């Protein structure tokens, strides 16, 4: 298991699938406003999709006298992550998000929770079936970050994302050779690049070199990072106690 790692990039930076906006008024809007509600405007793809994420917009309101505490994304009955938390602005912006799709059928639910402890859910009618061109390599050797002790990085790997899924692999290979690297895996528009064992600063320099020379083709080049996993005791009986947006993910 890895704590986020490249899936952080997959969730937030992969090209989103083709979606449409709903024009209908949410049927779940309470007339008296005493209960919370959430309504997703974006129409998810139906049937097979080759896009691993979807950009969404949604409406959400708390119950009377309360504030929105969190909005969560639930996939196939499993809470995947928070897409908004009032106490952590880094997790996401209210009313819009980029959410991942997974291989196979996706049964998707969104949930809003307010400061009164009340919740409301919205089920996505379509059940997209993910079929992705993924070739994900085994995790590499991780080292502690020099900048942040809670983050680790792979000492001989970086990630690059191309702007368009139709960018020829040969073009990416040419860019990678300029830093003496080799493509060892691919997930959508993200390529896994193996390089010589390097320090964190040396890897960052390689990323900068790629972006300077190939910015017309690349969205980003970054370290293959992961959050360090530590044993913790839940400070509360709240089942969402660890819902910080950085839940443990198994690729």
> What are the DSSP calls for 203-237, one per residue?
HHHHHHHHHHHHTTTEEEEEEEEEEPP-----SSS
Taking a C-beta distance cutoff of 8 angstroms, is the pair 161, 9 a contact?
yes
Are 80 and 116 within one domain?
Answer: yes
Q: Which of 130, 162, 178 is the last residue of a domain?
A: 130
> Based on the domain organization, do 149 and 109 belong to the same domain?
no
187 and 154 share a domain?
A: yes
**Given this model, what pLDDT does residue 29 score?**
54
Looking at the chain, how many residues does it have?
251
Within a domain: 5: no
Q: What is the pLDDT of residues 143-168, one digit of tens each?
A: 887 766 557 888 999 999 898 878 99
pLDDT tens sequence across 109-129: 999 999 999 999 999 999 999
In a domain, 251, yes or no: no
Residue 160 has a pLDDT of 93
What pLDDT, on a 0 to 100 scale, did the predictor assign at position 190? 87
Q: Rounded to 5 degrees, what angle do the CA atoms 48, 243, 67 make?
A: 100
For residue 123, give its domain range.
Answer: 10-130
Burial group, residue 70, by CB count within 10 angstroms (0-12, 13-18, 19+): buried
The mean pLDDT value for 131-151 works out to: 73
Q: Helix, strand, or coil here: 111?
A: strand
pLDDT digits (tens, 9 = 90+) for 69-98: 999 999 998 877 789 999 988 788 999 998
Picking from 130, 148, 164, the residue at the C-terminal end of a domain is 130
Here the CATH number for the domain that contains residue 160 is 3.30.70.80
Of 130, 163, 184, which one is at a domain's C-terminal end? 130
- Which position has the higher pLDDT, 213 or 228? 213
- Output the six-digit token pair for 172: 């990416």
pLDDT of the residue at 65: 92
User: Which of 105, 107, 132, 154 has its CA nearest to residue 2?
Assistant: 154
Does 239 fall in a domain? no
State the helix-helix crossing angle for 169-177 and 200-214, rounded to 10 degrees.
130
The DSSP letter of residue 103 is B
3-state class (DSSP) for residue 142: strand
The number of folded domains in the chain is: 2
- pLDDT at position 30 is 56
What is the model's pLDDT at position 51? Answer: 78
Record the pTM: 0.53
Q: Highest-confidence range of 24-33, 113-122, 236-245, by mean pLDDT?
A: 113-122
Instruction: Give the model's pLDDT for residue 184.
Output: 92
Q: Let me know whether 115 and 178 are in one domain.
A: no
Backbone φ and ψ for 133, nearest 5 degrees, come out as: -85, 80
Query: What's the rounded Cα separation, in Å, for the pair 119 and 113?
Result: 4
Average pLDDT over residues 124-146: 81
């Amino acid at each position: 298991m890895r704590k986020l790692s490249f899936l952080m990039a997959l969730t937030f930076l992969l090209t989103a699938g083709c979606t449409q906006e709903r024009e209908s008024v949410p049927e779940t809007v309470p007339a008296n406003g005493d209960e919370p509600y959430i309504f997703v405007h974006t129409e998810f793809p139906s049937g097979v999709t080759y896009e691993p994420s979807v950009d969404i917009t949604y409406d959400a309101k708390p119950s009377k006298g309360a504030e929105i505490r969190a909005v969560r994304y639930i996939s196939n009955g499993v809470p995947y992550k928070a897409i908004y938390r009032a106490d952590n602005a880094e997790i996401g912006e209210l009313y819009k998000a980029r959410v991942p799709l997974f291989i196979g059928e996706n049964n998707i639910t969104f949930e809003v929770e307010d400061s009164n402890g009340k919740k409301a859910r919205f089920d996505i009618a379509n059940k997209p079936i993910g079929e992705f061109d993924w070739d994900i390599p085994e995790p590499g050797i991780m080292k502690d970050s020099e900048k942040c002790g809670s983050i680790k990085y792979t000492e001989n790997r970086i990630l690059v994302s191309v702007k368009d899924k139709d960018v020829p692999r040969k073009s990416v290979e040419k860019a990678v050779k300029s830093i003496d690297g080799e493509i060892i895996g691919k997930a959508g528009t993200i390529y896994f690049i193996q390089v010589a064992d390097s320090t964190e600063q040396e890897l960052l320099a390689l990323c900068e070199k790629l972006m300077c020379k190939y910015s017309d083709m690349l969205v980003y080049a970054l370290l293959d990072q992961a959050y360090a996993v530590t044993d913790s005791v839940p400070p509360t009986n709240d089942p969402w106690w660890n819902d910080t947006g950085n839940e443990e993910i198994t690729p």
